[in-house]
Structures are given as structure tokens and as C-alpha cells.
Amino acid sequence: MSKERPQFTRREFGQLALAGGALSLAWPGAAFAAHTVRIGVQSYSFRTLPLDDAIKAMATIGIKECELFQGHIEPQPKMTPDPNGGRPRPPEGWRDELRAWRLTAPSVAFMGIRDKFKEAGVKLQAYNLSFNESFTDAEIEKGFEMAQALGVKLITASSTLKTVPRLVPYAEKFKITVAMHNHSNVKDPNEFATPESIEAALAQSKWFGSNLDIGHFVAGGNDPIAFIQKHHDRITNLHLKDRKKDQGDNVPWGQGDTPIKEVLQLVKKNGYDFPVNIEYEYRGDDAVAEVKKCFEYVKSALNQA
């Protein structure tokens, strides 16, 4: 039985520092319809599993593409309980330890991870590394070297508007696209949460794109359909999750306000080539079982007329 890893959000981690045969039998041509859209997973969905088990789960479920969460590679701190009842915190000095690890991590280690995905038949489409103001220039450059060693041409980042200008020369040097991942805090002008904030980043470099999280977008009061139609040529991948409006919770798919089915049909109808990545974030008992449910939900939605 796999040892569980600490559970904290990708945003919290960033601040510290991706078809069914039975269905095709039931409906001839169904598998083909689903496969016209690239279905992947954000490995954060398997955050309770070590990377090797996460890769095995992807292969078992039948998911062929992955956006790799930095928490599956980088060392994770032993969180210290908050005496006041708040969220656990990393120990003092952890940020310096993480920086030191990033600056000294050998490229061969990332090449080994790349090979693991290849052996499992899962395409590694992106590395999720959330640059922020705490990153030194050397750390930023090392992040691009990590992506290069992983063999990907895309970095997804829960970044900030203030950090974006610093990324331009590295994206251009390495010819690696950086896609901004949005959240739902529309009140923070430094957050990627509104169409305007994402567009502000896209305007700064042709090497910038949008990793649009449709659940967060809806929770922040935005329309993912309209954004995709307007910016489909700058979208690198989608994150699929279901959230309720007005900063509502993550919920099992089909119980929230996010138009997951409509988005999937839009992608299929228009032949958009970017992948749609499952990001399991609601509460469930077993990550593998829940991601499988999400995968079946996606295939079913794509196979609807």
C-alpha cells in the first residue's frame, strides 16, 4: 500500500516555492468520437500517491497524457501544525532548502522521470512549475532547464502578474511556452483570475499562453466558453473541474455550475488541438477511483450528439 503524501493545494505549494472499450462496444464509433479530443490529467489529481504509483494509475485508467505537478518531483516539507488551528505551515528555512534543491538538482534525474512516462505509454505534455516573486533569476532559469530535461515544450504556472515580465527572456531563450494558470480570486490584481489579467500576460510575449481552469474561471464569475472562443489559439491546455459560482466549492462533476460538457463539445466541434486535463480536486475517498469517474464523465460528454 502506497505511503500517502501531504495534501496541500498547488497554489499553496507554489507559494512555498492529465478510451473506453466497453463504451465502444455499447455504441459503435463512440471511442472514435472521444478520441478526437486529447484527454489528459494534471498529476496533482494523484497528489496522495508517489509519482510511480500515479503513473501506474494513469496507465491503468487509460489516460494517455499528463501535465506533471511540481509536487511530484520536488521535495516536500514536513508541515508544522498551526497552534491557532490554521493550515499547517512548512518549517522555518524551508524556502531556502527548496531553492537549494532546485539549483542543484541534476538534469539526469528529470530525464529518468521522462523515461518512466515513456515506458508507461503516457505522453508528458507539460511541467507545472509555479513561478512567483520569491524565485531568484537562477531559480527561474533552472525551472526552464528542468522542463527541457523532461522533454516538454510547455510550463504551466500558477504565477503572478508581477512575475510575468521576468519570465519573458527565459521563455524566448529556451523556446518553451509558459501558460498562466488562473484561480478565482478576482479581488487580487496580482492574480490571474479575470480575462483581462490573462490577456495582460498574453500581450507580453508570443511564448505565453493560457492554461485555462474552467472551474476556477466560473467560480470567479467568468465565462469559459466565451474565453475559449476568443483565445483558442493561445490556450495550451484546459483544467477540467466542477465548481459552483460565486467562489463556490469544488464538487463532484455534474453537481456544480461549470459547463464541462459544453466546453468539451466546443473543443470537439472546433477541432481544437489542446488537451483537456482532468484535475480531481473535490473531496473523495480514493484518488484513482475518482479520476476514473472523471475520465468516464469526459468520454460520455464527448460522445453525446
Asked, for residue 61, whether it belongs to a domain, the answer is: yes
The verdict on residue 117 lying in a domain is: yes
Residue 270 lies in a domain: yes
Q: What is the pLDDT of residue 10?
A: 54
Domain with 87, as residue range(s), is: 10-302
In the prediction, which pLDDT does 12 show?
Answer: 52
At residue 9, the pLDDT reads 56
Considering its fold, how many domains does the chain have in total? 1
What local confidence, expressed as pLDDT, does residue 86 receive? 79
**pTM greater than 0.85 (yes/no):** yes
Burial label, 141 (beta-carbon count in 10 A; 0-12, 13-18, 19+): middle
- Say if 25 falls within a structural domain: yes
Q: How far apart are CA 92 and CA 138, in angstroms?
A: 22
Q: Of 114, 159, 125, 113, which Cα lies nearest the Cα of 140?
A: 159
Q: What is the pLDDT of residue 189?
A: 95
Angle between the 51-61 and 107-120 helix axes, to the nearest 10 degrees?
Answer: 20
Look at residue 1 and tell me if it is in a domain. Answer: no
Which residues are bridge partners to 68 per DSSP? 127
Give the Cβ contact number of residue 1 at 10 Å: 4
Query: pLDDT truncated to tens, each residue of the chain (305 aa)?
Result: 333 444 455 555 454 443 333 333 333 333 444 558 999 999 999 999 999 999 999 999 999 999 999 999 999 998 888 788 778 889 999 999 999 999 999 999 999 999 999 999 999 999 999 999 999 999 999 999 999 999 999 999 999 999 999 999 999 999 999 999 999 999 999 999 999 999 999 999 999 999 999 999 999 999 999 999 999 999 999 999 999 999 999 999 999 999 999 999 999 999 999 999 999 999 999 999 999 999 999 999 999 86
- CATH code of 209's domain: 3.20.20.150
> CA–CA separation, 131 vs 162, rounded Å?
10
Q: What distance lies between CA 272 and its chain's CA centroid?
A: 18
Closest listed residue to residue 44, CA positions, set 127, 102, 111, 114: 127
Domain annotation covers residue 231? yes
The answer to whether position 5 is within a domain reads no
* Residue 94 within a domain: yes
